[in-house]
Amino acid sequence: MFRTLLMRKKIVAANWKMNLNASQARELLTSLKEKAFSLKSHQEVIVAPPFPFIPAALEQIGSIENYFVAAQNCSDKEKGAYTGEVSTAMLGSIGVSHIITGHSERREYYGETNGVVAAKVNRILAEQLTPIFCCGESLETREAGDANAFVGSQLNECLFHLDENSMQKVVIAYEPIWAIGTGKTASSEQAQEMHAHIRAAIAEKYGNTVADSISILYGGSVKGSNAAELFGQQDVDGALVGGASLDADDFSKIIGALS
């Protein structure tokens, strides 16, 4: 169920993508459990393993306070003859609380449009789960000076149909496509600039109270070595972590940077 927003959540989320086998997943989850932090009420850790490993994640870390398990994807359909798809109801029924949607890899490799992403956001919210909505521009778009407009259009077409109450239940992850898995990271100033732009766009649509309540995460080659500097920015509320989340030590350093 949704939690009352007393203050903006500070979040570190792990996206394992299509990595690890069953024994490797169990080993990583055991390490994460052993290294689990005692988090403050406004801090959260979210782990998004591949579908087959979600039950193990729920068993290992699902009972730790302020630790949650997410899915990396879901269907935009409620139920029916959609072979190979996984519904939000299925995920919610086993204890998943968050679902990533709009990731650039889903958009690029599987042709997911803003319309499809908007439908997924609707399905996630209808199941009373939390969408982790991804947005971000390519290097070509950034170099053309169109990054703000591009990300603004993603927000407008995927989220801004929501009413105020629903919008406050969304977590946003800004991931510049040129920094995902490349080893390149937006500078802390670049991250702050875009996060501030996103928050300003939300404020223009919904008002400052809503904008100030929404957690905006940075994603794109986040590591233990750069997390603290990124988290020190006013509008950066945490991270959606890819490769570094597969290393328990490095991921733990990122979680530690929340403080």
**How many CA atoms lie within 13 Å of 101's alpha carbon, on the beta-carbon side?**
31
Task: State the catalytic residue, choosing from 98, 105, 175, 195.
Answer: 175
Phi, psi dihedral angles at 135 (to 5 degrees): -145, 160
Question: Encoding tokens for residue 164?
Answer: 């105020």
Alpha helices in 35-163 (DSSP H): 54-61, 88-94, 104-110, 114-126, 139-143, 147-158
- Residue 256: which residues within 8 A CB-CB, separation 6 or more? 37, 224
Residue 127 among the catalytic residues: no
Residue 204 among the catalytic residues: no
Q: Exposure string (b/e) for 77-88, b if CB count within 10 Å is 16 or more?
A: eeeeeeeeebbb
d(CA 188, CA 234): 10
Task: State the catalytic residue, choosing from 103, 112, 137, 195.
Answer: 103
Residues with a known catalytic role: 103, 175
